[in-house]
């Protein structure tokens, strides 16, 4: 089978690249193994929250010049970064994903980091937030005096106590309540069903979210803030808006333990948009056995399709970091398993990790070695028609920087442009 572009991996960077190409008339195939980082999303996209030296970033675009040369943002360059960043909200809007920035918007729509309340009651910087997620102007942007935090009885993946503790440290008086409705009680018969996604499915039914909403409404006793878990609007986020209208206080949704309902909704919508534009999405399959000749990828195969070869003009590798199995580690090396691309990592394994769990980890910055256009190499020889996007690109510690989504989107935009420019 022949495509214009074959993309390996089904996460954020893959979908953004695929949608952009497909909408420009390219025939794309995405090979997706299964879950990706969107399933474990925080509900916000980060562009840059912290510099490698640890200093906090307020306006990411103003901090780009402090990034090292090997950083993917530095490879894209300030001009292109500015163009891409400005276009992101509209791009996602056109895919049915509404993202909103921090209320403190910058000049010409340039991003200013806002803060999200985490499930532990702490504050994390973010660039753009998904439907239900509230971005505060700053960690001290707390104008509420009393909060009501409502959980579902028996839902262990949302700990109201931690959120209450975090907010009360900032002067908000908190009250915690639990409610339930019949269909959620039914879920509890099988204890492992009581997870975010299970509840979200049940709450998609109109009678259910309405019953829940009115129970919450009855609980409100003069509080000016109501906090609910992010388990609503999996299929249609309009439920979130209706709940906000039903409840006589400002409503803030806070994340649960994974899987992430807003993240999965975003993934589903992006996938739908890609397919609506004519793209082919191969679910639950893994790319193997690439044919590489004279510095070009000719074709790849997949586990399920067997001998059927998938050829294309261009290939994009978007298979993720260690967790996505885009990279693998043995005691002596970090390697890329599909093509055997050159990777960058120190040979001394002691440098891979920090003894402190919460310190930045060296391994997070390892990845595939790429040129300015994100083209990788095999044993030093550049592969002309293969591009790498997302967390697999080396050169930045995206978990520490809070740049995971930003790197995914920016590299995907950049690579899509390179492919389109080469037509």
Partner 1 sequence: MKDFDVIVVGGGITGAGTARDCALRGLSVLLIERDDIATGATGRNHGLLHSGARYAVTDRESAAECISENMILKKVARHCVDDTSGLFITLPEDDLAYQATFVESCHAAGIKAEVIDPKEALKMEPSVNPGIIGAVKVPDGCVDPFRLCSANIVDAKLHGAKIALRSEVVGFIKEGDTVRGVKVLDRSTHQVTDYYARVVVNAAGIWGHHIASLAGVNIGMFPAKGALLIFAHRVNGMVINRCRKPANADILVPGDTVCVIGTTSTRVPYEECDNMRVTPEEVSLLLSEGAKLAPCLEHTRILRGYAGVRPLVSADNDPSGRNISRGIVCLDHESRDGVKGLVSITGGKLMTYRLMAEIATDTVCRKLGVEATCQTAKLPLPGSEGGGLEKIAKKIWDVPTTAQKALVGRFGAGAAHLDFGEDKGGVICECEEVTVAEVDAAAEYLDVNDLVDLRRRTRVGMGTCQGELCACRAAGRLAKANGCASKARNDLKAFMRERWKGMYPVAWGETLREASYTQWVYSEVLGLNED
Residues that bind partner 1 (CB under 8 A): 37, 40-42, 118-124, 153-154, 156-157, 159, 161-162, 164-165, 188, 191-192, 194, 255, 257-258, 260, 321-323, 325, 328-331, 349-350, 352-353, 355-358, 361, 363-364, 399-400, 402, 404
- Give CA separation, 268 vs 38, 45, 140, 282, 311, in Å: 10, 16, 34, 14, 26
- Whichever of 58 and 361 has its CB closer to partner 1, that residue is 361
- Whichever of 315 and 363 has its CB closer to partner 1, that residue is 363
Between CA 310 and CA 322 the distance in angstroms is 25
- Whichever of 101 and 259 has its CB closer to partner 1, that residue is 259
- Whichever of 26 and 392 has its CB closer to partner 1, that residue is 392
> Closest separation between CB of residue 20 and partner 1, Å?
25
- Whichever of 28 and 231 has its CB closer to partner 1, that residue is 231
Closest CA to 40 of 219, 263, 213: 263
- Whichever of 213 and 406 has its CB closer to partner 1, that residue is 406
> Closest separation between CB of residue 41 and partner 1, Å?
8
Q: 344: helix, coil or strand?
A: strand
- Whichever of 78 and 353 has its CB closer to partner 1, that residue is 353
> Closest separation between CB of residue 13 and partner 1, Å?
16
> Closest separation between CB of residue 163 and partner 1, Å?
9
> Closest separation between CB of residue 383 and partner 1, Å?
25
Q: Please provide the size of the chain in residues.
A: 423
- Whichever of 269 and 321 has its CB closer to partner 1, that residue is 321
Please tell me what DSSP assigns to residue 152: E
Between CA 343 and CA 346 the distance in angstroms is 10
> Closest separation between CB of residue 292 and partner 1, Å?
26
- Whichever of 42 and 302 has its CB closer to partner 1, that residue is 42
Give the pair of three-digit tokens for residue 130.
């998904």
Backbone angles phi, psi at 215, to 5 degrees: -65, -40
> Closest separation between CB of residue 155 and partner 1, Å?
8
CB 233 within 8 A of CB 261: yes
Give residues with Cβ within 8 angstroms of 127, minimum separation 6: 44, 45, 46, 47, 48, 60, 101, 102, 111, 113, 114, 405, 406
- Residue with structure tokens 């639950």? 284
Which strand (E) or helix (H) includes residue 307? Answer: none
> Closest separation between CB of residue 189 and partner 1, Å?
8
What residues are paired with 280 via a beta bridge? Answer: 29
- Whichever of 259 and 376 has its CB closer to partner 1, that residue is 259
- Give CA separation, 307 vs 1, 107, 283, in Å: 11, 54, 18
> Closest separation between CB of residue 42 and partner 1, Å?
5
Q: Which residues of 313-342 are buried (b: 16+ CB within 10 A; e: fewer)?
A: bbbbbbbbbbebebbeeeeeebbbebbebb
> Closest separation between CB of residue 331 and partner 1, Å?
5
- Give CA separation, 126 vs 58, 151, 365, in Å: 10, 25, 20
Give the pair of three-digit tokens for residue 269.
């919508």
CB 419 within 8 A of CB 386: no
């Amino acid at each position: 089978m022949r495509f214009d572009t074959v993309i390996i991996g089904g996460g954020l960077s893959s979908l953004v690249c695929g949608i952009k190409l497909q909408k420009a008339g390219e025939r794309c195939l995405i090979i997706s193994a299964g879950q990706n980082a969107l399933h474990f999303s925080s509900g916000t996209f980060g562009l840059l929250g912290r510099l490698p030296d640890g200093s906090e970033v307020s306006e990411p675009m103003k901090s780009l010049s402090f990034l090292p040369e090997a950083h993917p943002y530095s490879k894209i360059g300030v001009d292109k970064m500015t163009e891409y960043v400005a276009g992101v909200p509209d791009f996602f809007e056109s895919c049915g994903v509404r993202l909103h920035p921090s209320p403190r918007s910058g000049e010409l729509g340039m991003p200013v980091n806002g803060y999200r309340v985490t499930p532990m009651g702490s504050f994390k910087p973010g660039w753009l937030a998904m439907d239900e997620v509230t971005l505060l102007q700053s960690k001290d942007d707390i104008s509420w005096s009393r909060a009501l935090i409502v959980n579902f009885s028996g839902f262990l993946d949302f700990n109201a106590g931690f959120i209450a503790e975090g907010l009360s440290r900032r002067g908000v008086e908190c009250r915690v309540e639990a409610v339930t409705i019949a269909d959620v009680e039914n879920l509890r018969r099988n204890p492992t069903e009581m997870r975010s996604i299970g509840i979200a499915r049940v709450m998609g039914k109109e009678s259910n979210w309405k019953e829940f909403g009115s129970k919450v409404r009855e609980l409100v006793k003069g509080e000016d803030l109501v906090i609910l878990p992010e388990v609503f609007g999996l299929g249609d986020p309009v439920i979130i808006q209706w709940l906000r209208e039903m409840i006589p206080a400002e409503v803030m949704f806070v994340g649960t333990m994974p899987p992430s309902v807003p993240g999965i909704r975003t993934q589903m919508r992006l996938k739908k948009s890609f397919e609506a534009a004519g793209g082919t999405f191969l679910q639950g399959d893994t790319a193997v056995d690439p044919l590489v000749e004279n510095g070009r990828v000719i074709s790849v195969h997949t586990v399920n399709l067997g001998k059927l070869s998938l050829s294309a003009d261009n290939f994009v590798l978007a298979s993720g970091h260690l967790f996505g199995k885009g990279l693998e580690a043995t005691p002596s090396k970090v390697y890329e398993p599909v093509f055997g691309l050159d990777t960058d990592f120190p040979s001394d394994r002691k440098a891979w990790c920090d003894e402190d769990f919460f310190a930045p980890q060296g391994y997070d910055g390892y990845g595939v070695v790429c040129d300015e256009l994100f083209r990788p190499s095999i044993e030093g020889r550049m592969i002309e028609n293969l591009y790498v996007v997302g967390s697999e690109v080396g050169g930045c510690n995206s978990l520490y920087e809070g740049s995971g989504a930003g790197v995914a989107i920016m590299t995907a935009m950049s690579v899509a442009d390179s492919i389109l420019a080469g037509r």
